[in-house]
Amino acid sequence: MSDGILRCAKLTLALELGPSAGQHTALLRTVERCNDACNWIAEVAFRERCANKIRLQKIVYLEARERFELPGQMATRPIPKVVEADKCDRTVQPHFRAHGAVPYDQRNISWKAPDRVGLLTLNGREAVPYLFGEYQNARRDRTRGQADLVLRRNVFSLYATADAPEPPQGRYTEYLGIDLGIVDLATDSDGIISTGEAGRRLCRVSAHRRRNLSREGTKACRRKLRRISGRQRRFQADTNHRNSKHVVAVARRTKRGLAREDLQGIRERGTVRRRQRARHANWGFSRLRSPIGYKVRQLGVPAVLVDPRNTSRTCPDRACIDQVNRPTRDRFECVSCGLAGPADAIAARNIAFRARAAVMQPKVSDAGSVPEAPETSHLL
């Protein structure tokens, strides 16, 4: 960085715990007791109209310890959780599930052994073993601050926050353009396409299966629904991470920055046919943009957001903008020079050109004033 300061990003490490039967019972009782305390504190905060953490702690801390028999630090952690939930909507009293996540901090969690973590419970501290892979093992020494104890499908996991130093961003004049879409998830300016056919097929099959099981309504069907819940979400998350890893690796290997479309508000700007509404509403472009965002920071790849308007209707050679240039969804044919090709690949080229033009703008104009940057083109 130009200021010489080493910046760090926040990562979340998911560590699956392997407690014994007694430890599992102790953790379960702790989770249930803490969430009972959250519900009581939320009732008091809603009644007193208090959303200030310090003031609320003075009101509820001592009674929470006595009423729910919590250790001192365990009685303080539910308070900021309630305050954050209350700030979302102060007209409604928040309610917490019995097995909701429980926050831990450096006072009630310790990382003393290489494969065990000390967690404060109602029975005192428990040294709970946890499972980790190569990714988590390389970052365990960077864990800082708060961690969340999560119970999902009767399995305890610990979501710990870790620091990841960000390398200085490279200074590149060329950019790899990425066009995001529904049919093809991502197409880069080199012509490489990441298709979304597998995800769409799974979406159709999952919706059909859920509809049929819901109609039956038997106990076995409800068990089946619980078993298959989240399968589509996990598949899409894995696909997005693999695609984001690929495009960032290509940009880094070829010493180029990464240019993407600023698609915020695109659903309000455009309309689709009734039969396409469900697919358009389920377009998770932000779920692909998010992993790209933190991966470029981890690898020091500069990233730019550009205006997406007319990227698939503009000729990259002649800058001719015409709706006729895109006769079909998949095809681009310039009416001026005859340039033809896949519409998504042409759009990715235009995105790369716009990013380069935005970055190469002189910081100071000839008149000595600083020119204004385009409204929708900005560095991340």
State the CATH number of the domain containing residue 306.
3.30.420
Query: In the numeric block, which tokens belong to residue 353?
Result: 């050109």
Q: Is residue 40 domain-shared with residue 86, that is, in the same domain?
A: yes
**Domain total for the chain?**
2
The answer on 49 and 143 residing in a single domain is: yes
- Whether residue 71 contacts residue 34, with contact meaning beta carbons closer than 8 Å, is answered with no
- What is the rounded CA–CA span in Å between residue 356 and residue 358? 5
For the whole model, what pTM was predicted?
Answer: 0.67
Q: Indicate whether 238 pLDDT > 70.
A: yes
Q: Are residues 149 and 13 in the same domain?
A: yes
pLDDT of residue 157: 93
Residues 323 and 266 in one domain: yes
Q: What values do phi and psi take at 343, rounded to 5?
A: -65, -40
Contact predicate 232/173, CB 8 Å: no
Mind listing the pLDDT tens digit for each residue in 294-310? 888 888 888 888 888 88
- In a domain, residue 189? The reply is yes
Mean pLDDT computed over every residue of the chain: 81
For residues 84 and 105, membership in a common domain is answered with yes
The neighbouring-strand residues paired with 184 are 195
> How far apart are the C-alpha atoms of 93 and 246, rounded to whole Å?
44
The DSSP element (H or E) to which 26 belongs, if any, is helix 21-48
Higher pLDDT, 287 or 79: 79
238 in the same domain as 306: yes
Q: Quick one: 309 and 247 in the same domain?
A: yes
Find out whether 79 and 56 touch, Cβ atoms under 8 Å: yes
Give CA separation, 27 vs 24, 43, 151, 154, 155, in Å. Answer: 5, 24, 9, 11, 11
Residues 158 and 22 in one domain: yes
Q: Which of 134, 151, 140 is nearest to 113 (CA)?
A: 140
**pLDDT band at residue 98 using 50, 70 and 90 as cut-offs:** very high
- One-letter amino acid at 3 equals D
Residue 21: the pLDDT is 93
Backbone angles phi, psi at 177, to 5 degrees: -85, 140
Whether 42 and 150 map to the same domain: the answer is yes
Pairwise pLDDT comparison (337 vs 285), residue with the higher score? 337
Mean pLDDT of the region 329-334: 87
Question: Is the Cβ–Cβ distance between 56 and 123 less than 8 Å?
Answer: no
Query: 152 lies in which domain range?
Result: 7-166
On whether both 261 and 120 belong to a single domain, the answer is no
| Domain co-membership, 128 together with 59 | yes
Q: Is the pLDDT of residue 362 over 80?
A: no
191 and 151, same structural domain? no
How far apart are the C-alpha atoms of 115 and 131, rounded to whole Å?
A: 7
Contacts for 293 with CB less than 8 Å, ≥ 6 apart: 303, 380
pLDDT at 328 exceeding the cut of 50? yes
The band of 95, judged by pLDDT with boundaries at 50, 70 and 90, is very high
> pLDDT digits over 160-215, tens only?
887 777 777 777 788 898 888 777 788 888 888 887 777 778 878 888 888 888 88
Per the domain annotation, does 209 fall within a domain? Answer: no
Q: Which of 34-38, 62-66, 166-170, 356-360 has the lowest mean pLDDT?
A: 166-170
Instruction: Answer with the residue of higher pLDDT: 5 or 115.
Output: 115
SS3 state at 273: coil
In a domain, 206, yes or no: no
Given a cut of 60, is residue 378 above it in pLDDT?
no
Question: How large is the average pLDDT for residues 109-126?
Answer: 86
Within 10 angstroms of residue 45's Cβ, the number of other Cβ atoms is 25
Q: What is the pLDDT of residues 122-154, one digit of tens each?
A: 988 999 998 877 777 767 667 766 889 999 889
The pLDDT of residue 319 is: 84
